[in-house]
């Protein structure tokens, strides 16, 4: 990560540094290649939503996926933690095949327990937050560490409070999601994902359900995460974020990766016609 | 015909007979309802299984027990099962390990009512589970929770909001449906009334008497039910500033900030 830790415009939310210190430092992936998606094909019925998609994400890299609506961005990142099945190709995270195991030279779907274990190292942040409404902010954060990892409750509470502080919500520990603004809910959701100490974070349009004035506070947390070395795949329409934070930008259209490159090259010299017309519309 | 108020009062205050009958009715209703909840939960979860056999068994269970009269189910269990078993009597007059009130006929009726109730509870619980936003289960899974943990920790607690009101109605029904147990000689309220007018040839008064007792039981339950629902914030806006557990929950899932909410 080479992004300078400069001042971020358009937000007055203070996010303290060392977000990852709250979970004991940046998680180290066991391999240099955190995500390795090879020739992924997926159909919804007759609809060929992902067509021969290959994407590699290296440790501490931030990849932003852009593309028009319906191009398969959400579907692709859902495949990365096996919330969706794939019909061809393979996806590995941290060197582990996700959702499938080899059997008789073919890939067969893995057992639920194994899939659940693999998902522990992949954090996901949803467009609509999906916080647990019957639990407080702090309870949302400690739920998985306690229930899945068997972490002692006291230890989890300690870590949860630290995480809340790092996302600027120390005062909201006992608030229920319905008592929080959208931006606050999304920051709790990020903290909740971080509490599992993931090696990879997936973001699916984390700011597009937010009122404009709350977008900055969420992007700020994500920028801080990127600065600290979290490996991230981010689907977003926030071009400023892509330019500033991404190491690589990937353009998807009709289920295919049509172009990828550094933000500089991508935004100033797009080569693909689809990219050009997409950028013309969105910029 | 003349209504004999003295006979009504005399029947209703014949405590040594009436009290055990009331206890029998309430105990049978509670146990059958609990059994129904457990079976309904199992059937609802089985119905979501990807395993065709498990799924099929649940579907057949609901189909049969919702599709035949519960009275027939009671009689089949009480008369049919001992016949099938040949010698052994699964429903003797008393069990050495149970209080006297829980006789063989009591157990047979309770089991049949509970198994029947399970078929209905299964549908209620299924609807409750379906009412929970799919994003909840996805968030839980994305955190590494197994399907079982996802269900017990995240989905079911939220489904309760939808399950509790019809569950209350089911129990109201159950209190009254226990009257069918009289058909297999259980000494509950209807049986007590029948025994009374067999001697007096005055059926009206004891039947009115037990109706009043049923009414009292269902009315008390109605109060309890509305208290539970109010506590859970089901369908009711609380006037207090501090919103109830489920009232808070209710306004969730929209994902939007609550208007004028605390910041
Ligand atoms: N569960 C599903 N069943 C059937 N079709 C689906 C399903 N989910 C998505 N699709 C379809 O797959 C295609 C890709 O959808 P996807 O949500 O991945 O697009 P996207 O790039 O994320 O779009 P957006 O920018 O609108 O979020 C769309 O045509 C969509 O209608
Ligand atoms: Mg999408």
Chain B: closest CA distance from residue A79 (Å):
11
Compute the mean pLDDT over every residue in chain B, rounded to the nearest whole number.
89
Residue nearest to atom 3 of ligand 1 (CA): A44
Is residue A52 less than 8 Å (CB to CB) from chain B? no
Q: How many CB atoms sit inside 10 A of residue B136's CB?
A: 21
Phi, psi of A142 (to 5 degrees): -85, -10
Strands A232-235 and A33-44: unpaired
A255 C-beta closer than 6 A to ligand 1: no
Give the pLDDT band (50/70/90) at residue A116: very high
What DSSP character marks residue A20? G
Q: Find, in chain A, the residue whose alpha carbon is nearest to that of B160.
A: A134
> Cβ B143–A131 below 8 Å, yes or no?
no
- For ligand 1, pick from A50, A53, A70, A209 the residue to mutate: most ligand atoms within 8 Å of CB: A70
| pLDDT(A219) > 90 | yes
Express each pLDDT in A142-199 by its tens digit: 999 999 999 999 999 999 999 999 999 999 999 999 999 999 999 999 999 999 999 9
> Which of A270-279, B14-23, B186-195 has the least mean pLDDT?
A270-279
CB B229 within 8 A of CB B165: yes
Q: Among the atoms of ligand 1, which is closest to the Cα of residue A75?
A: 18
> Which of A18-32, A39-53, B193-207 has the least mean pLDDT?
A18-32
Q: What local confidence, expressed as pLDDT, does residue B193 receive?
A: 97
Chain B: closest CA distance from residue A134 (Å):
6
| pLDDT(A4) > 50 | no
CB B65 within 8 A of CB B116: yes
Q: Among the atoms of ligand 1, which is closest to the Cα of residue A67?
A: 21
Q: What local confidence, expressed as pLDDT, does residue A24 receive?
A: 72
A184 C-beta closer than 6 A to ligand 1: no
A69 C-beta closer than 6 A to ligand 1: yes
> Cβ B249–A178 below 8 Å, yes or no?
yes
Phi, psi of A248 (to 5 degrees): -145, 145
A93: enclosing H helix or E strand: strand A88-93
Mean pLDDT for B110-122 is 98
> Cβ B249–A120 below 8 Å, yes or no?
no
Q: What local confidence, expressed as pLDDT, does residue B150 receive?
A: 96
Mean pLDDT for A1-27 is 55
Q: How is A60-79 classified by DSSP, letter by letter? A: T-EEEEE--TTSSHHHHHHH
Compute the mean pLDDT over every residue in chain A, rounded to the nearest whole number.
90
Q: What local confidence, expressed as pLDDT, does residue B88 receive?
A: 83
Mean pLDDT for B185-212 is 96
Residues 6+ apart with CB under 8 A from A213: A183
Express each pLDDT in B75-97 by its tens digit: 999 999 998 888 788 999 999 99
| pLDDT(A6) > 60 | no
What DSSP character marks residue A180? S
Express each pLDDT in B228-250 by its tens digit: 888 876 433 333 444 445 554 45
Interface size A-B, in CB pairs within 8 Å, comes to 100
A92 C-beta closer than 6 A to ligand 1: no
| pLDDT(A126) > 90 | yes
Coil, helix or strand at residue A53: strand
Q: Is the dihedral of CA B192, B194, B200, B202 positive or negative?
A: positive
Q: How many CB atoms sit inside 10 A of residue A274's CB?
A: 18
Mean pLDDT for B1-9 is 90
Express each pLDDT in B137-178 by its tens digit: 999 999 999 999 999 999 999 999 899 999 999 999 999 999
Going by C-alpha positions, the residue among B166, B137, B140 that lies closest to residue B225 is: B166
Express each pLDDT in A66-98 by its tens digit: 999 999 999 999 999 999 999 999 999 998 899
Percent of chain B predicted with pLDDT > 70: 88
Q: What local confidence, expressed as pLDDT, does residue B153 receive?
A: 96
User: Which ligand has its closest atom nearest to the C-alpha of A49?
Assistant: 1
Q: What local confidence, expressed as pLDDT, does residue A18 receive?
A: 72
> Which of A26-30, B70-74, B150-154, B161-165 has the least mean pLDDT?
A26-30
A70 C-beta closer than 6 A to ligand 1: yes
Q: What local confidence, expressed as pLDDT, does residue A16 receive?
A: 56
Q: What are residue A108's DSSP bridge partners?
A: A101
> Cβ B157–A117 below 8 Å, yes or no?
no
Number of residues that this document lists for chain A: 283
Rounded distance, CA A91 to CA A36, Å? Answer: 6
- For ligand 1, pick from A75, A127, A203, A253 the residue to mutate: most ligand atoms within 8 Å of CB: A75
Going by C-alpha positions, the residue among A15, A4, A20 that lies closest to residue A229 is: A20
Mean pLDDT for A242-263 is 95
- B83: burial class by Cβ within 10 Å (0-12, 13-18, 19+)? exposed
Give the pLDDT band (50/70/90) at residue A234: very high
Geometric angle at alpha carbon A115, from A112 and A121, rounded to 5°: 145
Q: Is A105 left (phi over 0), alpha (psi -120 to 50) or beta?
A: left
Going by C-alpha positions, the residue among B101, B116, B128, B103 that lies closest to residue B33 is: B116
Q: What local confidence, expressed as pLDDT, does residue B87 receive?
A: 76
Number of residues that this document lists for chain B: 263
Residues of B in contact with A130 (CB under 8 A): 133, 135-136, 138-139
Q: What local confidence, expressed as pLDDT, does residue B248 receive?
A: 45
User: Which ligand has its closest atom nearest to the C-alpha of A67?
Assistant: 1
Residues 6+ apart with CB under 8 A from B41: B121, B122, B125
Mean pLDDT for A44-52 is 96
- This model of the complex carries an ipTM of 0.88
Give the pLDDT band (50/70/90) at residue A22: confident
Q: Report how far ligand 2's centroid is from the alpha carbon of A85 (Å).
A: 16
Percent of chain A predicted with pLDDT > 70: 92
- For ligand 1, pick from A71, A85, A278, A282 the residue to mutate: most ligand atoms within 8 Å of CB: A71
| pLDDT(A17) > 90 | no
Is residue A8 less than 8 Å (CB to CB) from chain B? no
Coil, helix or strand at residue B215: helix
Q: What is the CATH number of domain B5-232?
A: 1.10.3720.10
Going by C-alpha positions, the residue among A129, A204, A247 that lies closest to residue B257 is: A129
Q: What local confidence, expressed as pLDDT, does residue A282 receive?
A: 81
Q: What local confidence, expressed as pLDDT, does residue B228 receive?
A: 87
Q: What local confidence, expressed as pLDDT, does residue A2 receive?
A: 40
The radius of gyration of chain B from alpha carbons, rounded to an integer in Å, stands at: 23
Chain B: closest CA distance from residue A159 (Å):
16
Mean pLDDT for B186-197 is 96
Q: Report how far ligand 1's centroid is from the alpha carbon of A68 (Å).
A: 11
């Amino acid at each position: 990560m080479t992004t300078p830790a400069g001042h971020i415009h358009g937000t007055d939310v203070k996010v303290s540094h060392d977000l990852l210190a709250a979970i004991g430092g940046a998680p180290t992936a066991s391999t240099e290649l955190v995500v390795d998606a090879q020739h992924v094909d997926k159909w919804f019925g007759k609809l060929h939503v992902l067509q021969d998609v290959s994407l590699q994400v290296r440790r501490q890299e931030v990849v932003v996926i852009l593309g028009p609506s319906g191009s398969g961005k959400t579907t692709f990142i859902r495949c990365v933690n096996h919330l969706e099945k794939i019909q061809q190709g393979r996806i590995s995270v941290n060197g582990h095949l996700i959702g499938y195991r080899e059997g008789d030279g073919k890939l067969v779907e893995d057992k639920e327990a194994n899939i659940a274990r693999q998902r522990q190292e992949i954090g996901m942040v949803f467009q609509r937050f999906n916080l647990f409404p019957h639990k407080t902010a702090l309870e949302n954060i400690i739920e998985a560490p306690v229930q899945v990892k068997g972490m002692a409750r006291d230890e989890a509470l300690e870590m949860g409070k630290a995480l809340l502080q790092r996302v600027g919500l120390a005062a909201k520990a006992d608030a229920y999601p319905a008592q929080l603004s959208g931006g606050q809910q999304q920051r709790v959701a990020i903290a909740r994902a971080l509490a599992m100490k993931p090696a990879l974070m997936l973001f699916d349009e984390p700011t597009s359900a937010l009122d404009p004035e709350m977008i900055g506070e969420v992007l700020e947390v994500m920028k801080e995460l990127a600065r600290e070395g979290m490996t991230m795949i981010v689907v977003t329409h926030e071009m400023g974020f892509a330019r500033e934070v991404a190491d690589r930008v990937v353009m998807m259209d009709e289920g295919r990766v049509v172009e990828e490159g550094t933000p500089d090259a991508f935004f100033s010299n797009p080569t693909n016609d689809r990219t050009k017309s997409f950028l013309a519309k969105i910029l | 015909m003349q209504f004999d108020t003295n006979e009504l009062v005399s029947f209703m205050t014949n405590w040594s007979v009436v009290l055990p009958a009331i206890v029998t009715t309430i105990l049978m209703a509670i146990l059958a309802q609990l059994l129904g909840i457990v079976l309904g939960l199992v059937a609802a979860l089985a119905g979501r299984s990807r395993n065709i056999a498990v799924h099929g068994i649940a579907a057949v269970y609901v189909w049969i027990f919702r599709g035949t009269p519960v009275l027939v189910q009671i009689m089949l269990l009480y008369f049919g099962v001992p016949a099938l078993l040949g010698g052994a009597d699964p429903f003797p007059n008393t069990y050495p390990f149970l209080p006297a009130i829980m006789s063989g006929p009591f157990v047979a009726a309770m089991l049949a009512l509970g198994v029947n109730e399970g078929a209905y509870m299964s549908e209620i619980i299924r609807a409750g589970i379906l009412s929970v936003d799919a994003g909840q289960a996805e968030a839980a899974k994305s955190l590494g929770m197994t399907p079982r943990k996802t269900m017990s920790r995240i989905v079911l607690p939220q489904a309760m909001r939808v399950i509790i009101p019809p569950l209350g109605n089911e129990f109201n029904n159950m209190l009254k449906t226990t009257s069918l147990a009289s058909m297999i000689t259980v000494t509950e309220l209807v049986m007590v009334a029948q025994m009374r007018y067999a001697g007096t040839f005055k059926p009206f008064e004891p039947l009115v008497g037990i109706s009043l007792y049923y009414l009292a039981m269902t009315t008390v339950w109605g109060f309890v039910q509305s208290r539970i629902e109010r506590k859970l914030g089901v369908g009711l806006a609380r006037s207090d500033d501090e919103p109830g557990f489920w009232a808070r929950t209710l306004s969730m899932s929209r994902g939007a900030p609550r208007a004028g909410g605390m910041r």
